[in-house]
Amino acid sequence: MDDRDAGFTLVEVLVALALFSLLAVLLFDNLKFGVQAWRSGSARAESFQRELAAQDVLRRLIGNLYPMMLGEGAAQRRIDIDGQSESLEFLSDAPAVSGGAGRFRFKLFADRRRDGVDLVLQSRPELAAKQDTERTLLVSDIDRIELSYAARATGDANAAWSTSWKDQSEAPGLIRLRVLMRPDDARHWPELVIAPRVQADVACVYDALTMRCRGR
């Protein structure tokens, strides 16, 4: 065999390098697509878990809403709840992270920014100053929220919903929260309909003579 017949020609080497480069590009594109799909799936899963956690927190806090009675006379007595179409202020059990002792004052509201709307929950101990308020972002970049309230009823299908619950003599029987996303947003929040479990200020020791709570 002639030595000139051994090895590869320059053309063969160039063709092999071209094929190897093409194969490397295809493999890199597939790897890049896989990484992007994994990141996208992980981000969606993480967002979904955060939303589930936020819904569970709201169910617990609103379900444990405490209807503290305010006012000195029978005609002036009212529940310490301020419910509007885009905000709800109420008393409830302390968060678990705080040790679960006592009550906290919460405010759930739509925080409107220049570039979007966020669903935010503020909290502070019942007797603490306003500067001790903590802010928790529940959902970001939504279109709007819709809060509505109904008196005690046999079921939410028969409830007469109102967009305001303030200066009422009793707590709402049902509270409904709708979180609406933008038209181009694939996220979906289920409608939350929550029935507060406590319907009376059981810690109020009522004095019929003075018509006020003697203590708690």
According to DSSP, the β-strands at 103-113 and 87-93 are antiparallel
pLDDT of amino acid 103: 87
Count of structural domains within the chain: 1
User: 160 near 151, Cβ under 8 Å?
Assistant: yes
- Residues forming a β-bridge with 169: none
Within-domain flag for 209: yes
Q: Is residue 119 part of a domain?
A: no
Q: Is residue 11 part of a domain?
A: no
| 96 is a domain residue | no
CA distance 94 to 103: 5
Contact of 87 with 164, CB cutoff 8 Å: no
Output the tens digit of pLDDT for each of the chain's 216 residues: 455 556 667 777 777 777 878 777 777 777 676 666 666 556 566 766 888 888 999 999 999 998 888 876 555 678 899 999 999 999 998 876 655 567 899 999 999 988 889 999 999 988 888 888 999 999 999 999 999 999 876 555 566 899 999 988 889 999 999 999 999 988 888 999 999 987 776 666 555 554 455 555
Q: Is the residue at 62 inside a domain? A: yes
pLDDT score of 12: 73
- The reply to whether 147 falls in a domain is yes
Please spell the DSSP secondary structure of 76-145, one letter per residue.
G-EES-EE-SSEEEEEEEPPGGGTS-SEEEEEEEEEEETTEEEEEEEEEETTS-GGG-EEEEEEEEESEE
- pLDDT for residue 156: 55
Domain assignment of residue 82, yes or no: yes
For residue 189, the enclosing domain spans 53-87+143-215
pTM: 0.72
Asked if 159 and 180 count as a contact pair (C-beta separation under 8 A), the reply is no
Residue 76 lies in a domain: yes
Q: Are 143 and 165 in contact (CB under 8 A)?
A: no
